[in-house]
Amino acid sequence: MDLKVIHLKGIDSTNRYCYKLGKEGKRNLVVIAEVQSAGVGRLGRRWYSNYGGLYFSILLDLKEYLNDREESIGKLNFIGSISVYETLIEYLPKNLRESIGIKFPNDVIVSVNRDKKICGILSEINWDHKFVVLGIGININNHIPEDLKDTAVSLRELCKREYDRFEIFYRFLSRFKDNFHLEDREILKKYEKYSKTLGRYVKVVTPNEEITGTVFKIDYGGIYLSTLEGIRYINVGDCIHLR
């Protein structure tokens, strides 16, 4: 897999930019920006993107790499989150390595006292033009604003030092390319191993309801909960770890 990297000083959103390039027929690109003025998060939220973080999006052809299937987007998200996990864990001191993990669907979190997000992933698919954009934001040296301090953390804050963002970025890309060629069962095995959600009692908040239960399986499409009313399969929403 050959990916061309486009480095920008600033942009509204690397996902938006890749989406535009995708419609123009461009493929196999990674757009990385120093800052984003309108970074987009999941479920229509904003992704705060000040200087010092990593903000990038990968533009891929849906047919060439992902078999043009609905579940491809879930698979790509899994490849993204396991690659971020494998990249970041190498930078953490031994005493923090147990604390990092993946929270459903694709957040990479660090649990010290409470779960805090270090990476978020937002993928978008365009069926008409057959491309997919995988957007990744990682808190590296960026300052976390006061109102997000309870829920987000940076690598600098965790390890009390600054990091070379581009070294981390290129290590991620290399992991991503390796993981991309794995068989489904190997991807799922890694995801399960790194998951902080599997086996947990959780609350999933969807646009229509809140469901509580114990997570006994996760696949590309969603999460399986064992609830008092029986088994539920949920494919969208926020997941809160209760215990």
Identify the residue whose tokens are 């270090």: 118
57 binds ligand BTN (CB under 6 A): yes
| Spatial distance between the Cα atoms of 159 and 34, rounded to a whole number of angstroms | 22
Is residue 42 packed enough to be buried (19+ CB in 10 Å), middle (13-18) or exposed (0-12)? middle
Asked if residues 205 and 240 have their Cβ atoms less than 8 Å apart, the reply is yes
* 5 scored as a contact of ligand BTN (CB under 6 A): no
> Of 7 and 189, which has the nearer Cβ to ligand BTN?
7
Residue 213 has phi, psi (to 5 degrees) of 175, 180
Q: Is 14 in the site for ligand BTN (CB under 6 A)?
A: yes
Minimal distance, residue 171 CB to ligand BTN, in Å: 17
Minimum CB distance to ligand BTN, residue 121 (Å): 6
The residue number whose beta carbon is nearest to ligand BTN equals 120
Q: What are phi and psi of 198, to 5 degrees?
A: -60, 130
Instruction: Note whether 173 and 3 are within 8 A (CB).
Output: yes
- Is 152 near ligand BTN (CB under 6 A)? no
Backbone φ and ψ of 208, nearest 5°: -110, -25
Instruction: Find the DSSP H helices in 71-197.
Output: 72-89, 155-159, 165-180, 184-194
When asked if residue 136 is in the footprint of ligand BTN (CB under 6 A), the reply is yes
Which of 6, 19, 47, 218 touches ligand BTN (CB under 6 A)?
47
| Among 6, 15, 168, 173, contact with ligand BTN (rule: CB under 6 A) | 15
Say if CB 108 and CB 80 are below 8 A apart: no
Of the candidate spans 32-40, 163-171, 203-211, 232-240, the one that interacts with ligand BTN by CB under 6 A turns out to be: 32-40
The piece of 39-47, 192-200, 210-218, 228-236 that touches ligand BTN (CB under 6 A) is: 39-47
Residues that bind ligand BTN (CB under 6 A): 13-15, 36, 39-42, 45, 47, 55-57, 107, 120-122, 135-137
